[in-house]
Amino acid sequence: MTTARLSKRTIDAIQSRGSEYTVWDDTLRCFGVRVRPSGAKSFVVVYRAGAGRGAPVRRFTIAAVGKITPERARARAKIILGAVAHGNDPAGQKTTERGTPTVAELADCFMADHVRPKRKPGTAEFYRDILDRIVRPAIGTTKADKLARLQVGKLHSSLAGTPFQANRVLAVIGSMYAFGSRAGLVPESANPARGIGKFKEGRRERFLTGQELERLGSAIREAESVGIPWSVDELDPDAKHVPKIKRSTKIEPAAAAAVRLLLFTGCRLREILHLRWEYVDFERGCLFLPDSKTGRKTVILNAPALAILSQLERVGPYVVPGNNPERPRYDLKRPWEAITRRAGLHRVRLHDLRHTYASFGAGGGLGLPIIGRLLGHSQATTTARYAHLDNDPLRRASEQIAGKISAALNGVGGDVIPLSLRIG
């Protein structure tokens, strides 16, 4: 939690972080400045509308920064908090006075009262991104009870180039209106996302072949040792001048280790980036993750994974630390782009390393239940996507059938039972 004495000087120094956050006043509890991803700032008061932890959290926007002074905003915050102490709900009264909330206001309540308290941080961030980047700019000013299915359908159709994202927008809007209905913010029958057909989503799995893995391994070794060279088009007038001696990308040992661990364990990206040393049990050869997408999870560490972990330097609580050793690394975007470009791997995502891990297991005839347990799937249907790779039983069956047919053709033996075809 970020706190500071909110003055004009400190507020002017606040910068956008790419995601919404609040800087709280260190002298008046529940009063702060909300900072949007765009950099817009506003004075807010956050409180519970009622007694006990079960009471809903409300956020009252006082004014945009710049319209009133911090001192005046703090004075208004004290009045609002005083009204709350006497059992009033200023934010709820404000909404009632203005009538039904807009889609943007419904999104605020949805995030504050439902998503952030009840969803994992990664899921909450995904919802926030969908709402702030796509929903608010397109339909945010529309009254929530007036939003028509036609408008949502047009928004969905405008995202046809990214069908996965388009369908997630529908899902988020549908979930938001279901919450609004339960909370009494919109009529029970109001759900403009209902009945809109989703786009067909193609398979997103990409499995690396043995040759591709060989190129990937070579690129990782080059990146962590001498660096991957890159060139600048000197004739391009917009090209940045970079000294020739610095024209290479060298990745940190922890970043290279993270990529290898993703491949050797089949873990999800955040499971590795948020991995703490306390979760690693070298003696039993396991990772004991207290939380994952499917809850508590135990990851079996094979010999290559154990070797990678044992060679890493411990500079903080996280296996893959960020610039601040006390915080985990945020992503692997830049090193992954450099490595895949050098390896000639196009449109390969980090999550495809998890698919590759599963594909090698399925292709080796290990069986889908075993693969599902290694990946931490809670549903067998999730692992079923790799069924087409589990060809070992099919290959044995095909060899057995063909062997009998070949023997019969060569007069060696083998009973061929004629099939009686019944038409009717």
Q: Which of 243, 211, 241, 246 is nearest to 228 (CA)?
A: 246
- pLDDT (0 to 100) of residue 390: 52
Q: Which two tokens stand for residue 341?
A: 């470009």
Mean of the pLDDT values across residues 392-401?
A: 64
35 pLDDT tier (thresholds 50, 70, 90): very high
Question: Is the pLDDT at 322 greater than 80, yes or no?
Answer: yes
Query: In this structure, are strands 280-281 and 286-289 parallel, antiparallel, or unpaired?
Result: antiparallel
**Per-residue pLDDT reduced to its tens digit, 63-88:** 999 999 999 999 999 988 888 888 88
- pLDDT (0 to 100) of residue 232: 56
- pLDDT (0 to 100) of residue 424: 45
Question: Is the pLDDT at 389 greater than 80, yes or no?
Answer: no
Of 150-164, 221-235, 310-324, which range is least confident?
Answer: 221-235
Q: What span, in angstroms and rounded, lies between the C-alpha atoms of 395 and 307?
A: 35
Question: Is the pLDDT at 357 greater than 90, yes or no?
Answer: no
- pLDDT (0 to 100) of residue 1: 63
Of 3-7, 20-24, 271-275, which range is least confident?
Answer: 3-7
Question: Is the pLDDT at 54 greater than 80, yes or no?
Answer: no
Kindly provide the b/e burial profile for residues 262-271, where b requires at least 16 CB atoms within 10 angstroms of the residue's own CB. bbbbbbbbbb
- pLDDT (0 to 100) of residue 177: 94
Strand order, beta sheet including 57-64:
2-4, 21-25, 31-35, 41-48, 57-64
Mean of the pLDDT values across residues 89-98?
A: 70
- pLDDT (0 to 100) of residue 53: 75
**Per-residue pLDDT reduced to its tens digit, 105-137:** 999 999 999 999 888 887 888 999 999 999 999
Residues with Cβ within 8 Å of 361's Cβ and at least 6 positions away in sequence, in order, are: 370, 371, 374, 386
**Percent of the residues in the chain that have a pLDDT greater than 70, as a whole number:** 83
- pLDDT (0 to 100) of residue 245: 55
Question: Is the pLDDT at 149 greater than 70, yes or no?
Answer: yes
**Per-residue pLDDT reduced to its tens digit, 211-250:** 999 999 999 999 999 888 876 555 555 555 555 555 788 8
Q: What is the pTM of this model?
A: 0.56
**Per-residue pLDDT reduced to its tens digit, 252-263:** 999 999 999 999
Q: Please give the distance of CA 322 from its chain centroid, rounded to a whole number.
A: 18
Average pLDDT, the chain: 84
Question: Is the pLDDT at 414 greater than 60, yes or no?
Answer: no
